[in-house]
Structure 1
Amino acid sequence: MSITWFESIAEAQRRAKKRLPASVYSALIAGSEKGLTLQDNLAAYDELRFAPRTAGLPGERDLSTSVLGRDVALPVLISPTGVQAVHPDGEVAVARAAAARGTSMGLSSFASKPVEEVVAANPNTYFQVYWTGSRDDILQRLDRARSAGAVGIILTLDWSFSHSRDWGSPHIPDKLTLRELIRFAPEGMMHPRWLLAYARTKKLPDLSVPNMAEPGTPVPSFFGAYGQWMQTAPPSWEDVSWLRKQWDGPFLLKGVYRVDEARRAVDAGVSAISVSNHGGNNLDGTPATIRALPAVAEAVGNEVEVLLDGGIRRGSDVVKALALGARAVLIGRAYLWGLAAGGQAGVENVLDVLRNGIDSTLLALGHRSVHDLSRDDLIVPEGFERRIGA
């Protein structure tokens, strides 16, 4: 076995921490304010227990499913995350890894790589949209994603402005000027392998967001695009319905938490919803997504596909989410740690770790397929669920 291989997401995280400059790594692990939601996203899975079987276990298991009408080899998709400067290849490496493991790629509109390059690396790519700028601005981004070959869009609504982190936020420059390079030099010198990876490309870490560029205008920086987002009024449900009408393919609404809003999402015509709290980087003090999932799945799971995003660190976590009603899960930090630890191979490794964990859990539960999972496979403690807006 290669010494570069790792057998757990926790090991990927340790390697990412060792390889990355402190400010880059801290941007990956941070939650908002006190981090209550971030902590609960992880801790909630520990409260769920399995009800295993002993004899008659299946010799082979099938992990494949379909999400938004497209077949995937396992019920784990790549959640869109912003500028992936943890590795020079960024989103393209992630897209290639997802394609190699037979699953879908979510590409952030704040990504560091253009949608055209990412779709070329993985034709099963969904373009993520923030409600930023005017309707005409948004339509221009949709047209570009459509022309590039994106198979669907993800409208992210689980990110509102969180003003602080109790442990402080890392310094992230708007541009890597000479002054910023001098300021960053001590961190970079302490992590020579990360620095060398960029040196080989003869390029500095790129903090621009090409997918937010308007035709004929310079590519904006991350904070330039972020500033435009902050100055744009949040969308109404009528805006969601309007945007749905502009895209005739799969449409995932990310950030639904409440039962009443899940029903409104169905009325707006979305194809799927993701129960998500932006990985604990939104309003702090909201419960873990796995706690809110069962009520949402029960309410609308027969009308739209229900996905879950938040806290997935093991294949057994994926199984717990599926048993409580999720069609599949999306991962964020886990694959970013894999990307930092080993580029494309590191992301493939993360997906393999999750695949192996799903498979072994299915075996112990006595199921041949992920579609056989149900609540009966779990021991759910009293008071675990949160029926929000029911």
Structure 2
Amino acid sequence: MGKKVPFSNLAEAEKLAKKRLPKAVWLAFKAGNEQGWTLDENIRAYSDLGFSPTVFDRPSRGKIDTKTKILGVDIDFPVIVSPVGAQAIHPDAEVAAARAAKRMGTAIGLSSYASSSIKDVTAANDNSFFQLYWVGTRDRIEARVEEARRSGAKALIVTLDWSFTPRRDWGVPPAPPMKMDLKTMMELAPHALSRPQWFSRYLKRGRIPELKVPNLFITPGDVPSFGTAWEEFVNTPTPTWEDVKWLRELWGGPFMIKGISTIKDAKLAVDMGADAISVSNHGGNNIDGTPSPIRFLPSIVDAVGSDIDVMVDGGIRRGSDVVKAMALGAKAVFIGRAYLYGLAVSGEDGVHKVLEIMRDGIEETMFGIGRDSIHDLSMDDLIILNRDFLVTPAR
């Protein structure tokens, strides 16, 4: 490990990932919903926030405190690898990301729709959280929860913000293929062969890219396809507050609800005993036209921040973005596409480099604004460049 990677910032990593991945794979994970307004807004919102650097009150270099604790886990800096499903970016997938996160002293969230099993990921990083979608019957959900418990997951994350709106208006695949039959493989073959380096990574491991989701087994030991799991998902009734409360009690340990965008939902999460929430719009893949979570963050923190840990995700591309989120009240952040760029380019070392860039950016920004601890950050450290930046959720 520790090999030199061919990028030094996230913009370079993104360009290289686009160049190295088959077009269908790139578009599937890069795109947002419908016209992509929210996808772009997630990034754009951070440009409405600025800093006022100091020259006299700077902390000592190397003495900046970035450590924090989330969901019962101590991490060296407030950036966690987000759960991201249906990966066909690198054959080592989430296991590579888990190892990189461990090297950097942070945690990883593993998606129900991941390519790697929770057992393999917890073996690579003991600070792993399992992210659960409400899929199937309570008996099947309970079996998956117990597998996560047996595997050593430190926390359970339930994601509730997927709204079954996978339309994309600009020539982008609506979702990964539902099944990898002969017809589908023939259609995708030119894409795979156009990126021989990407394809050869799989061949060297004696397999071809496929979309299997081991964490959404229908019976223990079964490894369904993405399409089979997706079909079960869309035919499962939407969970009620009582269902999620049952899940919280079943798990019994640290518990997060991901996908919060309203004060009402945040308060309901507190009422059911959740330990944390993540303000999120599913990376621009929920309802297009939704403002960036960072705009909602301050009002949600004001409403529940004294009762629950509040995280945020969506649009974070550099360490200074993390500092902005922390100044607005976040306890930590998730990154998704940012680490996937690194994974696509250089596997584990690429993810490690992305996390290193994030950490260094946090420390450089903290030095510039004269703060020696992330726990001292507040809105006083920011300049709001757009007076309409702050958005209070409608309910």
TM-score by length of 2: 0.96
Overall identity of the aligned pairs, in %: 50
Match 2:303 to one of 299, 303, 308: 299
1:384 aligns with 2:389: yes
Tell me the equivalent position of 2:36. Answer: 35
Tell me the equivalent position of 1:243. Answer: 247
Tell me the equivalent position of 2:178. Answer: 174
1:8 aligns with 2:13: no
Give distance in 2, aligned partners of 1:111 and 1:320.
Answer: 30
Are the counterparts in 1 of residues 129 and 156 from structure 2 also a CA contact under 8 Å? yes
Give distance in 1, aligned partners of 2:319 and 2:225.
Answer: 36
Tell me the equivalent position of 1:151. Answer: 154
Structure-to-structure mapping, 1:1-390, within 5 angstroms: 4-59=5-60, 60-170=63-173, 172-216=176-220, 218-380=222-384, 381-389=386-394
CA distance change for structure 1 residues 66 and 5 in 2, over 3 Å: closer, same or farther? Answer: farther
Are the counterparts in 1 of residues 166 and 285 from structure 2 also a CA contact under 8 Å? no
Are the counterparts in 1 of residues 199 and 208 from structure 2 also a CA contact under 8 Å? no
The runs of 5 or more residues in structure 2 that have no matched partner are none
Give distance in 2, aligned partners of 1:172 and 1:273.
Answer: 28
Cα deviation for residue 101 of structure 1 reads: 0.5
Deviations 1:99-139 (A, max 9, x none): 11111110011111111111100111111110111111111
Cα deviation for residue 56 of structure 1 reads: 2.7
Cα deviation for residue 188 of structure 1 reads: 1.9
Are the counterparts in 1 of residues 179 and 227 from structure 2 also a CA contact under 8 Å? no
Aligned AA (1:305): D
Are the counterparts in 2 of residues 260 and 389 from structure 1 also a CA contact under 8 Å? no
Cα deviation for residue 206 of structure 1 reads: 2.5
Deviations 1:14-53 (A, max 9, x none): 1110110000000111100111111110100001111221
Give distance in 2, aligned partners of 1:355 and 1:204.
Answer: 35
Q: What's the Cα RMSD here? A: 1.5
Cα deviation for residue 55 of structure 1 reads: 1.0
Are the counterparts in 2 of residues 106 and 126 from structure 1 also a CA contact under 8 Å? yes
Aligned AA (1:154): I
Are the counterparts in 2 of residues 51 and 376 from structure 1 also a CA contact under 8 Å? no
The runs of 5 or more residues in structure 1 that have no matched partner are none
Give distance in 2, aligned partners of 1:264 and 1:150.
Answer: 25
Are the counterparts in 1 of residues 5 and 349 from structure 2 also a CA contact under 8 Å? no
Give distance in 1, aligned partners of 2:157 and 2:128.
Answer: 10
Give structure 1 regions of 4+ aligned residues with deviation exceeding 4 angstroms: none
Instruction: Report which stretch shifted further, 29-38 or 318-327.
Output: 29-38
Give distance in 1, aligned partners of 2:110 and 2:240.
Answer: 23
Cα deviation for residue 8 of structure 1 reads: 1.0
TM-score by length of 1: 0.97
Cα deviation for residue 184 of structure 1 reads: 2.1
Cα deviation for residue 216 of structure 1 reads: 5.0
Give distance in 1, aligned partners of 2:268 and 2:178.
Answer: 38
**SS of the counterpart of 2:84?**
coil
Aligned length, in residue pairs: 390
Cα deviation for residue 2 of structure 1 reads: 6.8
Cα deviation for residue 217 of structure 1 reads: 6.2
Give distance in 1, aligned partners of 2:179 and 2:203.
Answer: 18
